[in-house]
Structure formats: structure tokens, C-alpha cells
Amino acid sequence: MSKRGMRQTILYLWFLFFAICLWGQTSSARKMEKAAIQRVKNVRVSLLDRSLPKVTLEFFLKSEGEGAPISWEVNDCGEQTGSPAVDQERDFPKCVVADMELRDRCAVTVLISVGTFKSGLVGVPALFSVTVTDPSGLIRPVRHLSDLPAELHRPQPKWRETCRFLWALYRRPIMAVHPLTPD
């Protein structure tokens, strides 16, 4: 085998080894994310809020969201600053996020803390935050998970309906009719 052929073989093996290592890391990270999401889906809401029944979070959200699809993901609970110098040494909390968009264009976001990125899944899952975003984009924090049903069924203020109506009129094209032109 020539030197050139040997170099190509070594280079090929090096890339293959690197790809296998990278694939193993991402596969392991995906398994951890799936485990965290499954753990949160199955947590009893009574552990997050004592006034709620002993049903799973997934069941609770599906029933309160009237069957709306729920998207689940793992993130840093919104804690990163965006500055690598500040964030480099921190151990960020790990949250599982449940997002739902309801029929009336309201959105619900529930964050459950499950540990940290360095320590992994630690302790009992805890409620980190709950927010409801109304159709106008206004984000309302919900203090307790048991307050979510009332927040979702709260009627919208009349002034918002009036503002939406006026905005729709403003955006509608104006049809100018000239009095001298025949119809």
C-alpha cells in the first residue's frame, strides 16, 4: 500500500471513529431527554399542587386543554444569559416544557424542573412556572397549577374585543366609489 493510500485509510478510520463517538453522545442525550419527558408526563399533579387530584400531568393538561396536542421538550428553564463568559461555569436547571395551543388561540406553557444539566435528573420534579398567553400576545403568569383551569376559562375583557374589531376595520381595504362611474 502506498503512503497516500495509507493516509487516506487512516483519515477515513479517524472520521469513522469520530462519527461513532459523536453519534453515541447524541444518542445518550436523546435517551436522557426522553427519560426526563416521560418522568414529567407521569408525575402526579398532586405532588406539584396539593389541591389537585392524583392524576398524571399529561392527563391533567389534556383534560384542561380539551384534547389540544401537547409538545414536550427539555430546556434550561430560560436561565441562560446569552453571554458565554457568564454562563460557562453555571450548572443550569433542567426543565421539561409542555406547550399547548388551544382552539381559541390561547397558549399554555408549563415548566417542570427535573434537575440540572451537570447533575442530571435529581430529586422530585417541581413546578417552575406556568403561563397563559392570550390571542393578543399578553402573557399572564399563573401562580399555582390549580389556578390554570380558572385562568383558561376566564372571559376576555370587552375592551380587547373592541380593539380587535377596530383593528380589523382599520386593516380592511377601502373601496372608493367614484360618483360619475357607472356600476
68 vs 60, 61, 62, 119, CA distance in Å?
12, 9, 6, 33
Q: What is the pTM of this model?
A: 0.67
Place of cell 399542587: 49
pLDDT digits (tens, 9 = 90+) for 45-70: 999 999 999 999 999 999 998 889 99
Tens of pLDDT, residues 81-137: 677 776 677 777 889 999 999 877 789 999 998 987 667 666 789 999 999 988 888
Q: What cell does 103 get?
A: 382552539
Q: Are 114 and 36 in contact (CB under 8 A)?
A: yes
Which of 7-11, 50-54, 175-179 shows the lowest per-residue confidence on average (mean pLDDT)?
A: 175-179
Rg of the chain over all Cα atoms, to the nearest angstrom: 26
Average pLDDT over the chain reads 78
3, β-bridge pairs: none
Per domain, the residue ranges of the chain are: 27-168
Please name the amino acid found at residue 115. G
